[in-house]
Chains A and B, each alone.
Chain A
Amino acid sequence: MSNLIYPFAHLLGGLILICAFAMLSQRRLAAMITLYQFEAITLTAAAFWQGYAQHELALYLTGVITLVIKAVALPIGLRRIVKNFNIVRAVETAMPVGLSMILGVGLIGVAVWVVLPTTLSAVTLTREDLAISLSVVLLGLLVMTTRRNALSQVVGFLSTENGLVLAAIGMPGMPFVAELSVALLVLMAFLVVGVFLFRIREHFDNLDIAGIENIEKQGR
Chain B
Amino acid sequence: MSIALLAVLFPLLTAIPLALVGSATRASYVNLALNTVTFALTLGVGFSPGNGMLHADNLGIIFGILSGFVGFTTSINNIGFIKSEQGRKSIRRWRLYHAMCQVMLGTTLLGLYADNIGLLWVAVEGATISATLGVSLSRTASALEAAWKYFILGGVGIALALFGIMLTYLAAQPALGPGIAAMSFTALTQHAAQLDGSLMTLAFVFLLFGFGTKAALVPLHGWLPDAYAEGPIPLTATLSGLMLNVALLALLRFRHLMSANAAAGAGAMHPGPFLLILGLASLFLTGFSLWRRRDSRRFFGFSSIEHSGIAIFAFGIGGPAIIFGGLLHMLLHTLLKSALFQALTKAALARGSAAPGNSGFSHLRGMIATSKQTGWLLVICIFALTGLPPSGLFTSEYLIISETIIRDPYYSLPLGAGLLLCAIAIIRQVGPVGFAPAPASAKPQKAGADVITIYAHLILVVLLAFAMPVTLVTLLSHIAEALQ
Chain A residues within CB distance 8 Å of chain B: 114-115, 117-119, 121-122, 126, 130, 134, 137, 141, 144, 150, 153, 157, 160-161, 164, 167-168, 171-176, 179-180, 183-184, 186-187, 190-191, 194, 198, 200, 203-204, 209, 211-212, 214-215, 218-220
- Given contacts A122-B199, A167-B163, A219-B293, are A157 and B156 in contact (CB under 8 A)? yes
At the interface, yes or no: B198 with Cβ under 8 Å from chain A? yes
Q: Beta-carbon contacts of B132-167 to A below 8 Å, as 1s and 0s? A: 100010000110111111011001101110110011
Flag if B166 contacts A141 (CB, 8 Å). no
Residues of B within 8 A of A218 (CB): 142, 295
Residues of B within 8 A of A187 (CB): 125, 128-129, 155, 158
Flag if B294 contacts A220 (CB, 8 Å). yes
Flag if B141 contacts A144 (CB, 8 Å). no
Chain B residues within CB distance 8 Å of chain A: 116, 118, 121-122, 125, 128-129, 132, 136, 141-142, 144-149, 151-152, 155-156, 158-160, 162-163, 166-167, 169-170, 173-174, 177-180, 183, 196, 198-199, 201-202, 225-226, 229-230, 292-295, 298
CB pairs A–B below 8 angstroms (6 shown): A160-B156, A164-B159, A164-B163, A171-B166, A187-B129, A209-B148
Residues of B within 8 A of A190 (CB): 129, 132, 151
- Given contacts A122-B170, A122-B173, A141-B156, are A175 and B142 in contact (CB under 8 A)? no
Flag if B294 contacts A168 (CB, 8 Å). no
Q: Which residue of A lies closest to B183 (CB)?
A: A175
Residues of A within 8 A of B145 (CB): 209, 211-212, 214-215
CB distance from B295 to the nearest CB of A (A): 6
Residues of A within 8 A of B229 (CB): 219
Q: Which residue of B lies closest to A127 (CB)?
A: B170
Per DSSP, are chain B's interface residues mostly helix, strand or loop, or mixed?
Answer: helix
Contact of A183 among B125, B156, B180 (CB under 8 A): B125
A121, B195: Cα distance in complex, Å: 11
Residues of A within 8 A of B225 (CB): 219
Flag if A118 contacts B199 (CB, 8 Å). yes
Flag if A172 contacts B173 (CB, 8 Å). yes
A160, B198: Cα distance in complex, Å: 24
Residues of A within 8 A of B183 (CB): 174-176
- Given contacts A122-B199, A203-B141, are A174 and B122 in contact (CB under 8 A)? no
- Given contacts A198-B147, A220-B292, are A157 and B163 in contact (CB under 8 A)? no
Q: Which of B144, B149, B292, B298 has the most chain A CB atoms inside 10 A of its CB?
A: B144
Q: Which of A126, A141, A144, A203 has the most chain B CB atoms inside 10 A of its CB?
A: A203
Residues of A within 8 A of B128 (CB): 187
CB distance from B159 to the nearest CB of A (A): 6
Contact of B159 among A115, A160, A194, A214 (CB under 8 A): A160
Flag if B155 contacts A114 (CB, 8 Å). no
- Given contacts A175-B183, A190-B129, are A121 and B174 in contact (CB under 8 A)? yes
Flag if B198 contacts A180 (CB, 8 Å). no
The 4 closest A-B pairs by CB, nearest first: A173-B178, A203-B141, A118-B198, A215-B142
A200, B293: Cα distance in complex, Å: 27
- Given contacts A160-B159, A176-B118, are A219 and B147 in contact (CB under 8 A)? no
Flag if A130 contacts B170 (CB, 8 Å). yes
Residues of A within 8 A of B163 (CB): 134, 137, 164, 167
Flag if A114 contacts B162 (CB, 8 Å). no
A137, B148: Cα distance in complex, Å: 20
Residues of B within 8 A of A176 (CB): 116, 118, 183
- Given contacts A187-B158, A194-B151, A198-B148, are A174 and B169 in contact (CB under 8 A)? yes
Flag if B162 contacts A186 (CB, 8 Å). no
Flag if A117 contacts B198 (CB, 8 Å). yes
Residues of B within 8 A of A211 (CB): 141, 145
Residues of A within 8 A of B118 (CB): 175-176, 179-180
Flag if A180 contacts B121 (CB, 8 Å). yes
A204, B144: Cα distance in complex, Å: 11
A96, B162: Cα distance in complex, Å: 31
Flag if B136 contacts A198 (CB, 8 Å). yes
A198, B148: Cα distance in complex, Å: 9
Q: Which residue of B lies closest to A204 (CB)?
A: B141
A46, B395: Cα distance in complex, Å: 55
Flag if A137 contacts B159 (CB, 8 Å). yes
Residues of B within 8 A of A198 (CB): 136, 144, 147-148
Flag if B141 contacts A164 (CB, 8 Å). no
Flag if B155 contacts A172 (CB, 8 Å). no
Flag if A115 contacts B149 (CB, 8 Å). no
